[in-house]
Amino acid sequence: MYKQPLYKKLSLGIAFIDINANQIIEVLHKYKDYMHDIYFSPVEDIAFQSGRAIYDFTNTNLTERQRELSKILYFAKQNNIALTLTLNSLKATEKDMLYMFDYYNKLYNIDYVTTFLPTAKLIKQQYPDKKIICSFNEGVNNMKKLMEIIDSNVFSCIVLGMSFIRNFEAFKLIKDNNIKIKLLVNNACHLNCEVFCRDRELCKKAFEKSELEIGATQLYAETSLFPEELFKYYIPNDIIDIYKLSSRPLGYYGLNDLLESYINNDSKKYIKASFRNYHLYGRLAHFGEYSQQFDYDEIMSIKQKIWDRILM
């Protein structure tokens, strides 16, 4: 039986802003053959959220949030979609994160937990068989840090992005150590970021500095990965285990467009329909004010030059 190239390869984030549980379930049902896992944060407190606008803590109560999340998690379980609990907020204490891990694991028997190295070590001690993923927010952005994570011997998978999005040497190193790779393809974070989602003002300043140096178009081309890049350079090598889509928060139609675009290997259709869809492939908010001036063909040309240098 023929399987699509992205069969069980996608990881999707769950949020409740501009979309409800029933709509998310509709999307998951439609694309369940492509879903490896869904990742989610605890709904109990805003301190567990590493990003803005994931859950609406102003207009909902805890019971409502728990009910909405449980609908989605039970649907996923019933449809062979793995559950990944995300514990990567600096606003939560280690004790609180461990408590939430115990709570969600007992309630849903979660498949994976994504977290930082110190918390990962503690979870590993108590649950030696639990699969632990190294968070993108851990800041793996150079070979020294990557080796520290590999040598810790607690992670079964590492989320990579930034300067590693096209680093096939690093991919091979990770796979040689029997660790899986979860590649964050559409966040468009600064390649040399030293903030790792920990300081919004510093992130903005780094973006502005790079934009002045090389321009927003060049920066967008370097930091984003279009579906066409995955199908041409990654999928044939089968070296990436899971493609993580930055999807929190996206509304119902945005979520559908994001998934269809990557599954069908087509960015042009969506960008030609609206310049706002550049946001599907570069979720970093700082690109928003530049997207109307972007030229698709110019971006594709820059991307080709990047790959020509890599493959020389």
In the chain, the domains with their CATH numbers are 10-210+223-268 (3.20.20.120)
Q: Is 145 helix (H, G, I), strand (E, B) or coil?
A: helix
Residue 157's H or E segment, with its range, is strand 157-160
Query: Nearest-5° angle of CA 203, CA 206, CA 211?
Result: 125
DSSP single-letter state for residue 36: E
Q: Looking at residue 1, what is its pLDDT?
A: 43
Q: What is the mean pLDDT of each run of 10 residues along the chain (312 residues)?
A: 82 89 96 96 88 80 94 96 94 90 95 96 93 93 94 97 93 97 88 67 79 89 95 94 90 93 96 94 84 94 96 83
Q: What is the pLDDT of residue 59?
A: 86
**What integer pLDDT is reported at residue 197 of this predicted model?**
65
Instruction: Write the CA distances from 272 to 34, 95, 297, integer angstroms.
Output: 25, 48, 11
Residue with tokens 């570069």: 282
Angle, alpha carbons 28-157-254 (nearest 5°): 30
Contact 220, 287 (CB under 8 A): yes
Is 50:41 a contact under the CB 8 Å cutoff? yes
